[in-house]
């Protein structure tokens, strides 16, 4: 074999190895760039710290100064992490750490380090198994939740609708819907169950089922909301699991919308000329008081008007400096919306929130509904 052939063969082997390495890296990173990976890691680290830090008595630690302050903070954070493990795994971890200390002191030698490393891997595998099992169950719950929510907005002559939701976790406590009732009326709802993840998602599902059951009967909007409130009170754990909600019923012929804002962020109505109105009439959140009464508001919509209904996950979204997006920024975006479609307006709102938040991990469910009058 000539030298040229040897060099060519070596080059092919290097190219093949580089390809295999690139394939492995792409599988490992899911194709994410380095800066995206670093941003994701920082967000995970921040979320993990916040998760454990909420179990630490920082007021008591603040009474200490210097190295004692750091020592007590480290101790309490370590205990907060230990408490997340089962008792058996806590003992296993502590014994492993003790064995590592012995191994590092040369009493256990290299074999001790290998054994302790293997023990850490076993513990990690047990935790990963729990996480994968829970993730699989959450994925099933997410699919069920998707079935409950409309996949697309209804086609309604004279109106253009769009909505979007982003759960903070796999499943969401936010609920949105838009469907036609008898008599040419369009029912809109955006709701937010207190809390996040599975408990909020389960209650959201019951709210959805109750709403569709009540809406099938020929009852007025106020009676519908009163029925929802009674049901929510019966399942709110003494008011701990309340639900904020905006419900609007639009008469398609007259373009008049009756609405009730039950403890929810008041929606924004942008008139065609640019003026902003807030739809505030309503009362307490659902599930707080069974005897609660609700004020019903009414508004007439004209061509070119734009309605934006949102949950507090939009205005309370935080950036890296823990600053909230806030309603002033949202209102500024709404003022600047042109004569585009509802989907374009929705995209502008969500993009503005994304640009403000940056790489910070989402801490609450985000939902928005936009309706444009043609």
Question: Is 346 within 8 Å of 162 (Cβ atoms)?
Answer: yes
- Percent above pLDDT 70 for the chain: 89
| pLDDT of 209 higher than 90 | no
Nearest-10 Cα torsion for 277, 334, 148, 173: -90
Binning pLDDT at 50, 70 and 90, where does residue 278 land?
Answer: very high
Long-range contacts from 347-351, C-beta under 8 angstroms, 24+ separation? 349/308, 349/310, 349/314, 350/164
- In tens, the pLDDT along 331-368 reads 999 998 877 889 999 999 999 998 898 878 777 889 99
Q: Output the pLDDT for position 106.
A: 62
Question: Is 257 within 8 Å of 249 (Cβ atoms)?
Answer: yes
Give whole-number Cα distances, 6 to 1, 20, 258, in Å: 7, 21, 82
Q: pTM value?
A: 0.71
Best-predicted range by mean pLDDT among 43-57, 63-77, 347-361?
A: 347-361
DSSP assignment of 164-178, as one string? EEE-SSSS-SEEEEE
The enclosing H or E element of 366 equals: strand 366-373
Q: For residue 129, give both structure tokens.
A: 């198994």
- For the chain, how big is the Rg over CA atoms in Å? 27
Q: Output the pLDDT for position 299.
A: 95
- Stretch 1-27: mean pLDDT: 76
Phi, psi of 308 (to 5 degrees): -120, 115
- In tens, the pLDDT along 210-256 reads 888 898 888 899 999 999 998 888 876 665 678 999 999 999 989 99
| pLDDT of 204 higher than 80 | yes
Q: What is the mean pLDDT of the chain?
A: 83
Q: Is 249 exposed, middle or buried (0-12, 13-18, 19+ CB in 10 A)?
A: buried
Least confident of 111-115, 191-195, 346-350: 111-115
- Stretch 132-161: mean pLDDT: 76
- Stretch 106-117: mean pLDDT: 66
**Angle between helices 326-335 and 342-357 in degrees, nearest 10:** 140
- In tens, the pLDDT along 301-318 reads 999 999 999 999 999 998
């Amino acid at each position: 074999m000539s030298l040229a052939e040897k060099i060519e063969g070596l080059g092919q082997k290097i190219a093949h190895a580089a390809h295999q390495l690139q394939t492995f890296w792409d599988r490992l990173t899911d194709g994410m760039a380095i800066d995206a990976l670093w941003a994701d890691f920082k967000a995970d680290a921040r979320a993990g710290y916040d998760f454990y830090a909420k179990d630490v008595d920082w007021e008591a630690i603040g009474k200490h100064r210097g190295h004692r302050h750091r020592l007590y903070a480290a101790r309490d954070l370590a205990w907060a992490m230990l408490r997340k493990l089962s008792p058996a795994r806590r003992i296993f971890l502590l014994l492993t750490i003790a064995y590592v200390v012995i191994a590092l002191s040369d009493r256990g030698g290299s074999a001790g380090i290998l054994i302790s490393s293997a023990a850490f891997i076993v513990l990690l595998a047990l935790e990963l198994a729990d996480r994968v099992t829970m993730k699989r169950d959450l994925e099933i719950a997410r699919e069920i939740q998707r079935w409950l929510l409309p996949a697309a907005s209804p086609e309604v002559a004279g109106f253009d609708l769009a909505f979007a939701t982003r759960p903070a976790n796999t499943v969401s406590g936010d609920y949105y819907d838009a469907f036609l009732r008898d008599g040419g009326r369009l029912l809109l709802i955006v709701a937010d169950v207190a809390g996040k993840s599975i408990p909020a998602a389960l209650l959201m599902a019951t709210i959805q089922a109750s709403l569709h059951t009540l809406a099938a009967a020929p009852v007025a909007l106020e009676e519908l909301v009163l029925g929802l409130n009674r049901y929510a009170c019966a399942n709110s754990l003494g008011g701990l699991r309340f639900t904020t909600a905006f419900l609007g019923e639009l008469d398609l012929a007259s373009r008049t919308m009756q609405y009730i804002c039950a403890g929810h962020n008041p929606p924004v109505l942008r008139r065609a000329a640019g003026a902003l109105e807030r739809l505030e009439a309503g009362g307490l959140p659902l599930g707080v008081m069974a005897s609660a009464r609700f004020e019903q508001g009414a508004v007439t919509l004209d061509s070119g008007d734009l309605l934006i209904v949102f949950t507090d996950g939009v205005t309370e979204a935080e950036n890296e400096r823990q600053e909230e997006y806030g309603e002033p920024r949202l209102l500024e975006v709404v003022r600047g919306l042109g004569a585009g479609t509802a989907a374009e307006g929705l995209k502008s709102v969500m993009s503005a929130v994304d640009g403000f938040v940056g790489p910070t991990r989402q801490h609450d469910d985000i939902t928005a509904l936009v309706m444009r009058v043609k």
